[in-house]
Amino acid sequence: MLETINLSKTFKDKKAVDDVNLYVNKGESVGLLGPNGAGKSTTISMISSLLKPTSGDVLFNGNSIIKNPAEIRRVLGVVPQEIALYEELSAHENLNFFGEIYKISKGDLESRIQEVLEMVGLQHRQKELIKTFSGGMKRRINIAAALLHQPKVLILDEPTVGIDPQSRNHILETVRKLNEQYETSILYTSHYMEEVEQLCDRVYIMDHGSIVASGNKSELLSILSNDDTFHVQLSKRSEKLIDAVRLIKDVRQVDETENGLRIIAKKRSHFLSTLVHGAEKEGVEIIHFQMEIPSLEDVFLHLTGKSLRD
C-alpha cells in the first residue's frame, strides 16, 4: 500500500535520512523506532508529502506521491508531534475548523466530530477551550483532528510524548481500535519500546538516518546472539564454585554480581545439574535462579550501542 524506495534527505551537508526502505501493508500497524535525532520525523514528513526527498521515492498503491501528492493526501491522516490546534478555540471549534478544511459536508461534519470525540473519550469536554486541557487531553484532540476525514493511512509522530498514563492508555487503545476495527494502516513512530511492542505488527529500527533492523518481534529478538543469560543468587561467595562453573561446557562467561553470579551460556545448554552439584559440594545454597528474557530494548541496545531514550 505504502512504500519508500531508497528515501534520502540531506540538509546542507548533513544526511538526515539515508536510503530508507520500508513498507506498510493495508490494515497493518508498523512501528518506526529510534532515539531522538534518528531521522524518524524527517522520514514521515517525506512519506506524508510535506517534505521533498533529496533522492528516492514514496509509492502509494504503486504511484509516486512525490509526483502526485494529492492521491495520498486524500486518504492520509497525520498526527504531528506538536499540538497542532488553536489554543483559544474549544475542542469542538477546532474539530469543526479541521472538518471544514477537509470539506466534510455540513450534514456529516457534526456526526463525525461526535464520533471522533467519543473515540478519544473527550465528548464531555468538547465545549472547553484547548488551553484549559491537560497535555494528554490536547494530544487526544490532536489525534481526533487527524481522524475526521476517515483516513485509510494514519501516521502518528510520537503521539504520547510527555503525557499522563491514563491519556497514554487511551491513545494506545484508540490506535489499536482504529487498526483492528477500521483496518486503518498505521505508521507509528516512538521511542517508547513498550508502545511499539504492544501496538505494531512489524517494527523498523532507525538510527543515524538509516534502518538498522526490521521485522516482527521474534525476528528482531533473533538478532540477538545465540546465548541466554542467567542470574543465580547464592547464599555465600565461593571461588571454587565459580571456577567449576567456568569449566562447564557451553558456558561462555561467568561474572560475579552483588549476591551471586551472572552466567552467559549457549542456548539450550545443559549446565544446571552441574551447577547444582557444584553448589552442594561447596556447601553453597542456590536461593534464586532466573533466566533473563531479552526485549526489543536489548535488541536496540545491541544494534545501536545506546538506549532508546538517549
Partner 1 sequence: MLAVFKAQLKKDVRKPVTIIVFMVVSILATLIFGNSTFGKPPTVPVFSTEPNGKEIEEKWIHLLKDSEALNFVLTEEEGALEDVASGKSSVAIKLMENDYRIITASNNSIVPFVEQEIHTIFSEEAQLQAVVGEEDTTKIRKVVESYLENPPLQAEVKSVSGGEIPKHDMGTQLLFVFTLFAAMFTIGFKVNGINEDKVNGIWNRLILSPVTKTNMYVGHLLYSFCIGFFQISVVLLLFQYVLKFELGDLRLIMMVAAIYTLSIVSLAMLISGFLRTPEKFNMVFTSFIPMIPVVSGLYMPPGTVSNPILLFIADLFPLKHAAEAMLNITLYNASWNDISLTVAILLLIFVIYMGIGINLVERRRG
Shortest Å, Cβ 103 to partner 1: 5
Shortest Å, Cβ 151 to partner 1: 10
97 lies in the site for partner 1, by CB under 8 A: yes
Per-residue contact track with partner 1, 41 to 70, x per CB under 8 A? -------xxx-x------------------
| Residue 215 cell numbers, joined | 521485522
271 lies in the site for partner 1, by CB under 8 A: no
| 132 versus 169: smaller Cβ distance to partner 1 | 132
Figure out which of the listed residues 76, 254, 275, 296 binds partner 1, where binding follows CB under 8 A.
76
In angstroms, the Cα distances linking 24 to 53, 65, 248 are: 19, 15, 47
How many whole angstroms separate alpha carbon 182 and alpha carbon 301? 35
13 lies in the site for partner 1, by CB under 8 A: no
Shortest Å, Cβ 218 to partner 1: 35
Phi and psi at 152, nearest 5°, equal -85, -25
Figure out which of the listed residues 1, 5, 66, 89 binds partner 1, where binding follows CB under 8 A.
89
Residue 220 · residue 296 · CB < 8 Å: yes
| Residue 218 cell numbers, joined | 521474534
| 161 versus 276: smaller Cβ distance to partner 1 | 161
Phi and psi at 287, nearest 5°, equal -85, -40
End-to-end CA distance of the chain: 33
How many whole angstroms separate alpha carbon 90 and alpha carbon 94? 6
Residues that bind partner 1 in the complex, under the rule CB under 8 A: 48-50, 52, 73-74, 76, 78, 80-86, 88-89, 93, 97-98, 100-103, 129, 145-146
